[in-house]
């Protein structure tokens, strides 16, 4: 009966279902991180004619804010977001979800083409299993959004082009012009660099692998590889010039982002911090199980977590070791090594994981840890941050899936059974945790997760609309006497400047050469201090917007050039 199944059709249906499942998850639980918020703020300033920048208060002239170039990230996300806000929708949620939907589709399409050359060496239903696993599992897609998603989608596209070139039989007509394919490959790799600095070494991995393959086995590929390498050098050189002359510097390249609380970043001491490797993220575990698992709810949760990480990591390592060993032996023909398609795939996927991890290790060893309050233990370094290993997660899960689904099989039945059990456990755990929440949230109107959790959709929509239209085209100073996260997000996404009352009243006298309209966020449950109350009376503050569900009252006031602040 199973022989009559049209697997090509079912494989395509499984791919489409995987895309829909990832889209549904994004629609149900869109995440707006601080990184995405900051880059969207710079996109708004770009649309207003101030470049990719962040607005800051000018204490010498409130009417002329200072625009500081964004240097923590390459400009790709800001450029793309600005285009979406102008040409797709001015609603940030719509623009962000459109970007993520396209990114998810691009990533899965890239993997579809990356797996395509393996069609004859995998079981017929392999794409169905792989894409349904990726569509349902929390890992390796946990924390995959924003610049991480877009960069990985472009890089995987470049990897797919590279694998297609390497797997193409030499006698086919497509070999007549491989230079165009090589340029497309490095173009996609460079696109990843526009979103994250960490993809610089991965982008160069693509033409270097093509060059080594051509030098060793197919000389006709040497010239296209060199052309692609030179093209990538020119593109990356242009991006570095942009970072140097426009953004001012390139974090993670020209200096290190430490967030040190005890000393300035410029005083960070270089060294060899071997102790940082003790914080290394368990990437073999996280390739199949999300870091959202809360072991703290069970007795001796930390010990259980360590045992689970150890057991799963041993199973994954054993499968990869045994499978790759067999693949390596199969690649020997008549006493000499010839890279089979499956061996090429594992070399590319494994090389991606190794290069990604090596970069994080190198940076973590060289620079001191950041002392922060938002990370467990208070000390953050690159090898401890799960989301930085995203290229490794997808590569490791793909390698294990290909080994399990290979034809003829390269794994013993016991190892195949252990790997299959691991995959089933990953899916079942996903279905009872994050996938269940996705299904529940899909029944609600789309909103940022912070809005849905608090049920403030009406007031939040009024707040967002007001802050985008109150003074279009120019940044507004928004003062406050308390902290309201949702008001801050709305203000920053509209390109305005947040200013605490303490900072405002500490810089006296303030100066302005033109009339300035200021907004003030006042919480009725937090009485203003006498100094704040006097400031609001002096400038005749008037209530403009009352948001009881958000617990905010927005006042407007005018500051004239001759006013004494």
Average pLDDT (423-446) is: 80
What confidence category does residue 62 fall into, taking pLDDT thresholds of 50, 70 and 90?
confident
Residue 63 in any domain: the answer is: no
| pLDDT attached to residue 266 | 53
Residue 503 in any domain: the answer is: yes
Q: How many CA within 13 A on the CB side of residue 176?
A: 3
Q: Which residues contact 412 (CB under 8 A, 6 or more apart)?
A: 322
Residue 511 in any domain: the answer is: yes
What confidence category does residue 261 fall into, taking pLDDT thresholds of 50, 70 and 90?
very low
End-to-end Cα spacing for the chain: 83
The CA distance from 472 to 258, in Å, is 36
Q: What is the pLDDT of residues 363-419, one digit of tens each?
A: 888 888 877 766 777 788 889 888 889 999 999 999 999 999 998 888 889 999 999
Specify the pTM: 0.92
| pLDDT attached to residue 305 | 84
The CA distance from 244 to 250, in Å, is 7
The CA distance from 228 to 440, in Å, is 47
Strands (E), 284-359: 332-333, 336-337
The CA distance from 305 to 24, in Å, is 30
What confidence category does residue 90 fall into, taking pLDDT thresholds of 50, 70 and 90?
confident
What confidence category does residue 528 fall into, taking pLDDT thresholds of 50, 70 and 90?
confident
Q: What is the pLDDT of residues 66-81, one digit of tens each?
A: 999 988 889 999 999 9
Q: What is the residue-averaged pLDDT of the chain?
A: 86
Helix residue ranges per DSSP H, 116-140: 126-136
Average pLDDT (98-126) is: 94
| Domain count along the chain | 1
What confidence category does residue 262 fall into, taking pLDDT thresholds of 50, 70 and 90?
very low
Q: Is the pLDDT of residue 441 over 80?
A: no
Q: Is the pLDDT of residue 259 over 50?
A: no
Reference 114, options 169, 153, 150; nearest CA is 153
| pLDDT attached to residue 314 | 95
Q: Is the pLDDT of residue 267 over 60?
A: no
Domain that holds residue 548: 456-556
Cα 356 to chain centroid distance, Å, stands at 14
Helices 7-28 and 92-115, axial angle in degrees (round to 10): 150
**Of residues 496 and 250, more confidently modeled:** 496
Residue 193 in any domain: the answer is: no
Q: What is the β-pairing status of strands 66-69 and 53-56?
A: antiparallel
Reference 166, options 126, 225, 228; nearest CA is 225
Reference 51, options 191, 194, 247; nearest CA is 247
Residue 514 in any domain: the answer is: yes
The CA distance from 391 to 377, in Å, is 25
What share of the chain has pLDDT > 70, as a percent?
Answer: 90
What share of the chain has pLDDT > 90, as a percent?
Answer: 44
| pLDDT attached to residue 77 | 94
Contact status, residue 229 vs residue 211, Cβ threshold 8 Å:
yes
């Amino acid at each position: 009966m199973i022989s009559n199944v049209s697997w090509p059709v079912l494989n395509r249906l499984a791919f489409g279902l995987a895309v829909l499942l990832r889209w549904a998850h994004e629609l149900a639980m869109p995440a707006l991180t601080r990184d995405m918020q900051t880059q969207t703020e710079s996109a708004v300033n770009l649309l207003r004619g101030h470049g990719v920048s962040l607005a800051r208060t000018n204490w010498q002239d409130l009417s002329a804010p200072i625009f500081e170039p964004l240097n923590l990230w390459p400009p790709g996300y800001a450029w793309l977001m600005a285009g979406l806000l102008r040409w797709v929708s001015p609603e940030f949620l719509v623009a962000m979800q459109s970007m993520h939907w396209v990114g998810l589709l691009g990533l899965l399409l890239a993997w579809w083409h990356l797996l395509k050359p393996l069609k004859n060496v995998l079981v017929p239903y392999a794409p169905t299993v792989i894409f349904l696993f990726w569509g349902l599992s929390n890992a390796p897609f946990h924390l995959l959004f924003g610049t991480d998603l877009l960069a990985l989608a472009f890089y995987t596209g470049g990897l797919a082009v590279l694998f297609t070139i390497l797997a193409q039989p030499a006698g086919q007509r497509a070999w007549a012009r491989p230079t165009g394919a090589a340029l497309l490959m490095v173009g996609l790799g460079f696109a990843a660099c526009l979103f994250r600095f960490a993809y610089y070494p991965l982008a160069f991995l693509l033409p270097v692998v093509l060059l080594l393959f051509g030098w060793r086995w197919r000389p006709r590929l040497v010239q296209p590889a060199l052309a692609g390498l030179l093209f990538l050098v020119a593109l990356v050189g242009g991006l570095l010039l942009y970072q140097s002359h426009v953004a001012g510097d390139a974090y993670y390249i020209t200096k290190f982002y430490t967030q040190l609380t005890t000393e300035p970043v410029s005083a960070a001491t270089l060294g060899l911090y071997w102790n940082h490797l003790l914080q290394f993220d368990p990437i073999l575990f996280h390739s199949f199980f999300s870091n959202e698992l809360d072991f703290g709810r069970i007795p001796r949760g930390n010990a259980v977590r360590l045992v689970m990480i150890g057991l799963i990591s041993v199973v994954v390592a054993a499968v990869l070791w045994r499978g790759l060993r067999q693949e390596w032996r199969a690649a020997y023909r008549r006493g000499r090594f010839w890279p089979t398609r499956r061996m090429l795939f594992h070399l590319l996927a494994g090389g991606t994981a190794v290069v990604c991890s090596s970069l994080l290790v190198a940076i973590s060893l060289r620079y001191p840890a950041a002392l922060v309050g938002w990370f467990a233990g208070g000390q953050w370094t690159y090898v401890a941050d799960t989301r930085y290993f995203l290229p490794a997660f997808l590569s490791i899960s793909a390698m294990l899936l290909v080994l399990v689904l290979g034809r003829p099989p390269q794994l013993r039945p016991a190892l195949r059974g252990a790997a299959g059990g691991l995959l089933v456990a990953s899916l079942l755990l996903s279905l009872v945790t994050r996938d269940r929440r996705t299904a529940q949230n899909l029944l609600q109107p789309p909103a940022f997760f912070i809005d849905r959790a608090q049920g403030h959709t009406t007031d939040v929509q009024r707040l967002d609309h007001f802050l985008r239209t109150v003074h279009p085209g120019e940044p507004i100073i928004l003062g406050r006497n308390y902290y309201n996260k949702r008001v801050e997000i709305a203000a920053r996404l509209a390109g305005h400047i947040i200013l605490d009352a303490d900072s405002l009243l500490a810089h006296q006298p303030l100066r302005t050469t033109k009339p300035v309209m200021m907004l003030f966020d006042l919480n009725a449950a937090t009485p203003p201090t006498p100094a704040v109350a006097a400031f609001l009376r002096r400038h005749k503050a008037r209530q403009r917007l009352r948001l009881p569900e958000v617990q905010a009252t927005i006042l407007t006031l005018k500051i004239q050039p001759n006013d004494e602040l």
